[in-house]
């Protein structure tokens, strides 16, 4: 039985999508400067030594760790792989800094509006031969021969409490499970992409309740995902 799923956490992604705003393309450079060089900046040049530019977008990058922070005219996405600059023990700190430096930082300063979606991905690797075997057996069994790799994805839609009590609010959360088994590895890669959709969109970034969103996502992982994992693939 797996008691603490976070012991297998290998990476995370946090992102925000807003309605495409092409005026943002003219401000992306300033947004990057604000992130890198503001007083007490957390995502400073030590974290992201490289900046790559594209048409209307920029990526802050650490080539040694593959950590990145991408900004374009409709998305801001932070992607971290643990084991380099950061470890799983830094998860809470990264959540807090994304909130303070991105949501209440550059999004407020540069007046990014019309928020469509939040996303929080947790990535796990379970180096458990028995789990890998049970996943294969319970997914395809003996129905197909010669299967090398398995990539399974499915989602579950969840209503947001606020949407249940407010008229004309249809916000909802969506959890996307992804499970990958490579034929040559006795391990399982799993991820949960927990998303919140705003219908209608939020007018301002100041309306984002990021701490509550992360709490909901973590609660789903600990209560729903862990129970699903144990009952289907761990416990007999």
List the single range of 73-82, 94-103, 132-141 with lowest mean pLDDT. 132-141
- Confidence grade of residue 145 (pLDDT, cut at 50, 70, 90): low
Stretch 216-231: mean pLDDT, rounded? 84
- Confidence grade of residue 147 (pLDDT, cut at 50, 70, 90): low
| pLDDT for the residue 2 | 75
List the single range of 42-46, 68-72, 83-87, 220-224 with lowest mean pLDDT. 220-224
pLDDT tens by residue, 3-48: 777 889 999 999 999 999 888 888 999 999 999 999 999 999 999 9
Instruction: Report how many domains make up the chain.
Output: 1
Which has the higher per-residue pLDDT, 142 or 174? 174
CB 191 within 8 A of CB 178: yes
Which has the higher per-residue pLDDT, 159 or 52? 52
Q: What tokens were used for 123? A: 């990535």
| pLDDT for the residue 162 | 56
Which has the higher per-residue pLDDT, 25 or 84? 84
| pLDDT for the residue 124 | 94
List the single range of 11-15, 112-116, 177-181, 231-235 with lowest mean pLDDT. 231-235
Domain, as residue range, for 220: 5-234
- Confidence grade of residue 168 (pLDDT, cut at 50, 70, 90): low
| pLDDT for the residue 166 | 55
List the single range of 82-86, 136-140, 218-222 with lowest mean pLDDT. 136-140
| pLDDT for the residue 163 | 46
Mean pLDDT of the chain: 88
- Confidence grade of residue 142 (pLDDT, cut at 50, 70, 90): low
């Amino acid at each position: 039985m797996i008691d603490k799923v976070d012991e297998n956490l290998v990476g995370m992604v946090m992102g925000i999508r807003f309605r495409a705003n092409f005026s943002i393309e003219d401000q992306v450079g300033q947004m990057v400067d604000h992130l890198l060089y503001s007083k007490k900046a957390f995502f400073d040049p030590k974290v992201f030594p490289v900046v790559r530019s594209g048409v209307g977008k920029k990526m802050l990058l650490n080539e040694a760790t593959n950590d990145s922070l991408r900004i374009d005219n409709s998305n801001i996405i932070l992607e971290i792989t643990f084991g380099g600059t950061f470890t799983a023990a830094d998860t809470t700190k990264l959540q807090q800094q994304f909130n303070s430096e991105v949501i209440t930082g550059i999004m407020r300063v540069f007046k990014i509006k019309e928020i469509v979606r939040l996303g929080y991905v947790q990535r796990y690797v379970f180096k458990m031969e028995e789990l890998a075997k049970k996943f294969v057996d319970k997914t395809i069994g003996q129905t197909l021969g010669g299967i090398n790799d398995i990539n399974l994805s499915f989602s579950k839609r969840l209503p947001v409490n606020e949407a249940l009590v407010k008229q004309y609010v249809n916000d909802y959360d969506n959890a996307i499970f992804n499970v990958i088994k490579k034929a040559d590895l006795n391990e399982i890669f799993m991820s949960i992409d927990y998303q919140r959709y705003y219908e209608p969109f939020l007018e301002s970034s100041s309306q984002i309740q990021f701490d509550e969103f992360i709490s909901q996502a973590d609660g789903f992982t600990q209560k729903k995902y862990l129970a699903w994992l144990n009952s289907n693939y761990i416990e007999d």
